[in-house]
Chain A
Amino acid sequence: MTGIKILLTTGVAFIAVYFFLRLRNSIFDILILMLLIIAAVVFILFPDITNSIANKLGVGRGADLVFYTSILIFWFAILKLYARIRRLEQIITQVVRKDAIDEAEKN
């Protein structure tokens, strides 16, 4: 086992523990999370697998493939987060507006 493998697997392990402590609400989430963690560990321990997948897709190295897909995933995550922020902003606006109008009606 090389240094980078140890580093990455401990990292994944920490993240996994953190997530399991935080969100144990739905079985579906846990299943998805388990899958992702297992996949991550497998890819870290046997990087040749990503290499062969990458070659099939026409990408030179496995590391590059991982890099490209993670960019996509991050884009998606940012959009989802942004949509959520907008929803939250609208809810806050409604609450503050209602409060302002109710207060003014009282006087």
Chain B
Amino acid sequence: MNLNNPNSVFVIIPFYNENTVISEVIESLVPYNYQIVLVDDGSAKSPIDFLKDIHSVYFLHHKVNLGQGAAIQTGIDFALRKGAELLVTFDADGQHLASDIQSLLEPLQNKEADICIASRFLEKGKHNATKGRKITLKAGRWVNYFFTGLFLSDAHNGLRAMNRIAAKKIRLKENRMAHASEFLIAIKKNKLRYKEIPASVVYSDYSRKKGQSVFSSVRIFFDLVLHKLFE
């Protein structure tokens, strides 16, 4: 077991109907020699055409669209099977920086934490979110605190890193976007050591279009209520 070997780091990228931006994302990751796991969540048009030039990626394909949470869980299951020691979740729309991954891995490699969650609010100038989105994320912190008991600075960040122990404990049952809170529930429930790490979030016109609007937070809220009621 070598936590410092990039070959044992699996970066899981779930995506749905992405265009060429995802190949830029992959290219930005390639120099780091991480193992890349792409999970296609039932895209209408298979992106394999513009991905076939990059050979060093694992490609998983959901036959139907299930949601980002389901895609991440598929990626985690697969990476664990392949013997992953460290697992990273990474958004496909180019909002994260590949160079931020190492700072999330470090506390895991030093065995100081089991799971690291990126935060755009820990340091100044790490994001260009609009006012509405900022307010929603601030409110989301309290909603998360209410539902999970963890109070983090960033409610909904797609960039996380975890070790094998944490990954095995996490079973995402919320197929859609409420899975971000499920990570926190798993942390609390299994007493995992967690750490927030400052990382950039860069919103482009593309990621804004692809990503969630402020109104999807309402949907997430109801998914969380129902999660509490039915699990």
Listed in ascending order, the chain A residues whose CB lies under 8 Å from chain B are 82-83, 86, 89-90, 92-93, 96-97, 99-101, 103-105, 107
CA distance A89 to B226 in the complex (A): 14
B230 touches A83 (CB 8 A): yes
**Contact (A82, B226) CB under 8 Å given A93-B70, A97-B77, A101-B81:** yes
| Shortest Cβ distance from residue A90 to the other chain B in the assembled complex, whole angstroms | 7
| Shortest Cβ distance from residue A42 to the other chain B in the assembled complex, whole angstroms | 36
CA distance A105 to B80 in the complex (A): 13
CB neighbours (8 Å) of A99 from chain B are 63
Q: List 16 A-B contacts (CB under 8 A).
A: A82-B230, A86-B226, A89-B175, A92-B66, A93-B70, A96-B63, A96-B70, A97-B62, A97-B70, A97-B73, A100-B39, A100-B78, A101-B60, A101-B74, A105-B81, A107-B59
B61 interface residue (CB < 8 Å to A): yes
CA distance A92 to B194 in the complex (A): 32
Is the contact region of chain B dominated by helix, strand, or loop, or is it mixed? mixed
Of all chain A residues, the one with the shortest Cβ separation from B173 is A90
| Shortest Cβ distance from residue B164 to the other chain A in the assembled complex, whole angstroms | 17
- The digit string for B42-79, where 1 denotes a CB below 8 A from any CB of A, is 00000000000000001111111010001001100110
CB neighbours (8 Å) of B73 from chain A are 93, 97
| Shortest Cβ distance from residue A80 to the other chain B in the assembled complex, whole angstroms | 11
CB neighbours (8 Å) of A103 from chain B are 60-61
CA distance A86 to B226 in the complex (A): 10
| Shortest Cβ distance from residue B85 to the other chain A in the assembled complex, whole angstroms | 19
| Shortest Cβ distance from residue B101 to the other chain A in the assembled complex, whole angstroms | 22
A97 touches B74 (CB 8 A): yes
Q: A86-B226, A93-B70 are in contact. List 8 more A-B contacts (CB 8 A).
A: A89-B175, A96-B64, A97-B70, A97-B73, A100-B62, A100-B78, A101-B77, A107-B59
CB neighbours (8 Å) of A104 from chain B are 58-61, 78
CB neighbours (8 Å) of A100 from chain B are 39, 60-63, 74, 78
Of all chain A residues, the one with the shortest Cβ separation from B231 is A86
CB under 8 Å from chain A, chain B span 152-177: 173, 175
| Shortest Cβ distance from residue B209 to the other chain A in the assembled complex, whole angstroms | 26
CB neighbours (8 Å) of B230 from chain A are 82-83, 86
